[in-house]
Structure 1
Amino acid sequence: MKVIVLGAGIVGTASAWFLNKAGHEVTVVERQPGVALETSFANGCQISVSHAEPWANPSAPIKILKWMGREDAPLLYRFRPEWLQWKWGMHFLRECLPSRTPGNMRQIVAMAEYSRQTLQSVRAETGIAYDQLTRGILHFYTDRHEFDHAVAAASLMRDLGCPRQSIDADEVVRIEPALAGIRSKIVGGDYTATDESGDVYKFTSGLAGDAAANGVEFCFNSTITRLITEGSGVSAKVTGVEIIDGNGVHKVLRADAFVVALGSFSVPLLKPLGIDLMIYPGKGYSATYRITNPDAAPTVSLTDDGHKLVLSRLGDRLRVAGTCEFNGYTRELNPVRCDAITRRTRELFPTACDYESPVYWTGLRPLTPSNVPYIGKTRYGNLFLNTGHGTLGWTMGCGSGRVIADIVSGHRPDLDFAFTGMPQDKRPAVKTNQPARA
C-alpha cells in the first residue's frame, strides 16, 4: 500500500520506518525543514518505563491547587476562555479517581516496556548513535510524604513487570555520587536499572536517514491544510491530504492509508472530520548546559521529584527538562520558569556546568487526561491514529511506530493495549525479544 504519515517527530518517523519495513510505500509530510524539530527536539531524553504513573492520580488535584498562581510552579494551569481546555480539565479530574489510576498505569507500562525493547532492536539493527546511556533512571525525593507515596507506586510498578526498586538515601548517592552535595536533603529514591536515556533528536534524525535510504520520501516545509474524505458510515475513507509546499503551491497527495502523528496539532486537523480527540498541549521546558566539570556532573539519568525535573547526560551536555504550562498553543519562553530550572540545577550540581549560557527551549506535549495515547483505527477505514503520547513520546515512540505499522498492515500487535477503534483481547503485556515484522 501507499501510506502517508503526517508528522515527523519521533512517533511519525518511527511509524514511517516500520511501515517501510513492512513493505509499504511511505511518504512523510512535515511542516518543519527537518525531522524532530518541535516537541521531539529537546525533551528530557529519558526512556522511562518507570515514569508510567500518570499525572492524573488521586494526589494531583491538591497539588495543582497548591501551585495556583505560582509562575515557577511545576504545573501551571492558566485558565483560558476555550472549551477544549475546560473539557480536558473535567476529564482529567475523572482520571484522578483512585479506581482509574491502576488501569491507566497498566496501559502505559505495557506500551513503554514494549517500546524500550523495540528501541533496543532498532539500535542493534541500524547502529544509530545518539549519546545513549543504559545506566538506568534514578528518582530521588526530598519530601518524606512524596517518598512514601513513591514506595507504594513502585510496588505496583513491580507487579506490572517494571523492576522499579525503592532505595534509601545512601543507596541514591552510591548510584549517583554527584548527588553527595545534597545527601542531607534526600529522604529516599527509586531506581530502575533497565531504563535508558539518549538524545531523541539525534536518534530521530538517524532513523529518518535510514528510512530515506530505504525509499521513504520526506516532504518537508509542507503545511497540512485539510484531509479530503468521501463516503459515509462504514464506507467513509480519506482520499487525500491537502498541503501547501515550501514554494507556496497547493497540492493534494493521494494514498491508500493515512497515519496522523501530529501530536497536539492532531486535534484541529481531525475535528472537521468529526473526530474529537481529548488532547491538550502542555508546554514543557528544557535547558541544555555545557558540562565544564565532568566529574561533578551526573552520569545516571535522574528525576528530581520535588521539582518535577528530569536530568540526562548527553555526552558533554546536561539536559534538564520538565514542568508543564497549560496555556494553549503558545511556545513563548517564560523567563521565570527558565530561571527556576537553572536555579535548581545549580543547587544540585553547582560546579558541573556553564550556567551563564543555557539554551532554553519549549515544546507542546500532546497530553490526554489519562496519559494513555491514541493508537489505532478511526471510523474512517483507512485513517489511523498515533498521537497523544504526552511526556512519553520518546519512551513510547519506537513501540507505537511498530504497532501502528502492524495495524495498518492488518495484523494485531503483540501486546495487551487499548488500541483505538479495536476490540481488546488479552495478550501478555509484553513479549520479549520479538523481531520487527518485515
Structure 2
Amino acid sequence: MHIIVLGAGVTGISTAWYLRQAGHEVTVIDRQPAAGLETSFANGGQISVSHAEPWANPGAPLKVLKWLMREDAPLLFRLRADAAQWRWGLQFLRECTPGRTAHNIRNIVSLGLYSRAKLRALRRDLGLDYDQRTQGILHFYTSEAEYEAAQEPARIMREQGCELDMKTPDECVAIEPALAQCRAQIVGGSMTPSDESGDAHKFTQALAARCAAAGVRFRYDTRILGLEREGGAISRVITANADGVVSRLAADRFVLCMGSFSRALARDLGVSLNIYPAKGYSVTLPVIAPQHSYQVSLTDDEYKLVFSRLGDRLRIAGTAELNGYDTALNLVRCEAIVRRTRELFPQMTDGQGAQFWTGLRPATPSNLPYIGQSAVANLYLNTGHGTLGWTHACGSAAALADLVDGRRPELDYAFTAATQQSALMQPKFAA
C-alpha cells in the first residue's frame, strides 16, 4: 500500500520507518525544512517509563487551583474563551479519580516498556547515536507529602513490570553525586535503572536519514491544507509547497502524526480528538563545571523539571502552560527554570549561555495518546503523546504499523478503533 504520514516529528518519522519495514510505500509530509524541528527539537531528553503518573491524578485539582495565578507555576491553566480548552479541562477533572488514574498508569507503563524495547532494538540494529545515556533516571523529592503520595503510583508501576526502587536521600546522592549540592532539601527518591535519556532531535534526524535510504519519500517545506473524502474514505491530501503551488496527493492510507495540530485537521473530517497544546519550555546550558554536573538523568518532583546530560550540554525542561497555540517565549517561566537549577546545583552553572526554547506538547486529559484507526476508514491516528512523545515514539509507531496491517500489537493498550469512537474521542479501556 501507499501510506502518507502527516508530520515529521519523532512520532511521524518512527511511524514512517516501521511502515516502510513492513513493506509499504511511504511518503512523509511536513511544513518544516527537515525532520524534528518543532516539539521534538529541544525536549527534556528522557526515555522515561517511570514518568507514568498522569497529570490528572487525585491530587491535581488542588494543585492546579494553587498554581492558577502563579506565572511560574509548573502547570498553568491560562483560562481563555476557548471551548476546546474548557472541554479538555472538564475531561481532565474526570480523569482525576483513583480508578481512572490507576487505569491510565497501567496503559502508560505498558506502552513505555514496549517502546523502550523497540528503541533499543533500533539503536542496536541501525547503530544510531543521539547522545544517549543508559544510566537510568533518578526521581528526587523535596516534599515529604509528595514523596508519600508517590508510593501508591510506584506500586502500580511495579505491578506492571516497571523496575522502580524507592531511595533514601543518601542513596540518591550515591547514585548522582551532583545532588550533594542540594542534599539538605531531598527527602527521598525513586530510581528506574532501565530508563534512558538522549537527544530526540538527533535521533529523529538520524532515523529520517535511514528512512530516506530505505526508500521513504519526503516532502518538506510543504503545508497540509486539508484532506479530501470520497465516500467514507480519504482520497487525497491537499498540500502547498514553499512557492504556494497546490498539489493533491493520493494514497491508500493516511496516518495523522501532527501533534497539537492534529485536532484541527481531524475536526474537518468529523473526527473529534480531545487534544490541547501544553506549552513546554526547555533550557540548554553548556557544561562549564564537569565535576559538579550531573551524569544521571534526573526528575525534580517539586518543580516538575527533568534534567538530561546530552554530551557537553545540560538540558533542563518542564512546566506546562495551557494557553492555546501561542509559542512566544515567556521569560518569567524561562528564568524560573534557570533559578531552580541554580538553587539545586549552585556549583554547576552560573546561568550564562542559556538557550531557551518552547514547544507545544499535544496533551490529552488522560495522558494516553491516540493510536489506531479513526472513524474514517483509511485514516489512522498516532498523536496526542503529551510530555511522553520521545518515550513512546518507537512503541507507538511499531504498534500502529501492526494495526494498519491488521495484526494485534504485542502490548496491552487502549488502542482507538472506529467502533469505540464517540463525538469526543477518548482512548478506551484496554481489553
TM-score of the superposition, structure 2-length normalised?
A: 0.97
Do the aligned partners of residues 129 and 71 (structure 1) sit closer, same or farther apart at CA in structure 2, a change above 3 Å counting? Answer: same
Does 1:376 find its partner at 2:388? no
Residue in structure 2 matching 1:397, options 388, 393, 396: 393
| 1:306 Cα deviation after fit | 0.4
Kept in 2: contact 1:61–1:93 (CA 8 A): yes
1:29-73 CA distance string (max 9 Å, x none) = 000011110000000000000001110000000001111111011
Name the structure 2 match of 1:138: 138
Name the structure 1 match of 2:272: 276
Does 1:242 find its partner at 2:238? yes
Q: Secondary structure of the residue that 2:84 maps to in structure 1?
A: helix
Does 1:311 find its partner at 2:277? no
Does 1:51 find its partner at 2:51? yes
Q: Secondary structure of the residue that 2:268 maps to in structure 1?
A: helix
Q: Secondary structure of the residue that 2:302 maps to in structure 1?
A: helix
CA distance in 2, matches of 1:38, 1:122: 23
| 1:258 Cα deviation after fit | 0.2
Q: Secondary structure of the residue that 1:50 maps to in structure 2?
A: coil
1:131-150 CA distance string (max 9 Å, x none) = 00000000000100000111
1:81-111 CA distance string (max 9 Å, x none) = 0100001000000000112111111111111
Name the structure 2 match of 1:330: 326
| 1:352 Cα deviation after fit | 2.0
Matches within 5 A, 1:225-236: 225-231=225-231, 236=232
1:306-334 CA distance string (max 9 Å, x none) = 01100000010000000000000011110
Q: Secondary structure of the residue that 2:335 maps to in structure 1?
A: helix
Do the aligned partners of residues 165 and 263 (structure 1) sit closer, same or farther apart at CA in structure 2, a change above 3 Å counting? Answer: same
Does 1:65 find its partner at 2:65? yes
Q: Secondary structure of the residue that 1:273 maps to in structure 2?
A: coil
| 1:409 Cα deviation after fit | 1.6
Kept in 1: contact 2:105–2:156 (CA 8 A): no
CA distance in 2, matches of 1:260, 1:426: 22
CA distance in 1, matches of 2:22, 2:238: 26
Matches within 5 A, 1:166-185: 166-185=166-185
1:244-302 CA distance string (max 9 Å, x none) = 01221000111010000001100011101110000000000000000011111000000
Once the two structures are overlaid, the 10-residue window that deviates more, 242-251 or 147-156, is 147-156
Does 1:258 find its partner at 2:230? no
Name the structure 1 match of 2:298: 302
Residue in structure 1 matching 2:382, options 386, 390, 402: 386
Q: Secondary structure of the residue that 2:76 maps to in structure 1?
A: strand
Name the structure 2 match of 1:419: 415
Ranges of 4+ aligned residues in structure 1 off by more than 3 Å: 422-427
Computed over aligned residues only, the root mean square deviation of the Cα atoms, in angstroms, reads 1.2
> What letter is aligned with 1:121?
A
Kept in 2: contact 1:240–1:255 (CA 8 A): yes
CA distance in 2, matches of 1:416, 1:278: 22
Identical counterparts, % of pairs: 56
| 1:351 Cα deviation after fit | 2.6
CA distance in 1, matches of 2:372, 2:104: 17
| 1:354 Cα deviation after fit | 5.3
| 1:353 Cα deviation after fit | 3.3
CA distance in 1, matches of 2:374, 2:298: 38
| 1:152 Cα deviation after fit | 2.1
Name the structure 2 match of 1:430: none
Once the two structures are overlaid, the 10-residue window that deviates more, 381-390 or 147-156, is 147-156
- Structure 2: gaps spanning 5 or more residues: 421-427
| 1:425 Cα deviation after fit | 10
Name the structure 1 match of 2:118: 118
> What letter is aligned with 1:203?
F
Residue in structure 2 matching 1:293, options 270, 289, 297: 289
* Number of residues of Structure 1 aligned to a counterpart in Structure 2: 423
Name the structure 1 match of 2:423: none
CA distance in 2, matches of 1:45, 1:413: 26
CA distance in 2, matches of 1:278, 1:195: 29
1:341-384 CA distance string (max 9 Å, x none) = 00111112223235122100001000000000000001221110
| 1:17 Cα deviation after fit | 0.4
TM-score of the superposition, structure 1-length normalised?
A: 0.95
Kept in 1: contact 2:135–2:195 (CA 8 A): yes
CA distance in 2, matches of 1:268, 1:181: 46
Kept in 2: contact 1:68–1:77 (CA 8 A): yes
Do the aligned partners of residues 381 and 298 (structure 1) sit closer, same or farther apart at CA in structure 2, a change above 3 Å counting? Answer: same
Kept in 2: contact 1:290–1:354 (CA 8 A): no
Does 1:32 find its partner at 2:32? yes
- Structure 1: gaps spanning 5 or more residues: 428-438
Kept in 2: contact 1:291–1:354 (CA 8 A): no
> What letter is aligned with 1:311?
F
CA distance in 1, matches of 2:136, 2:416: 31
Kept in 2: contact 1:132–1:314 (CA 8 A): yes
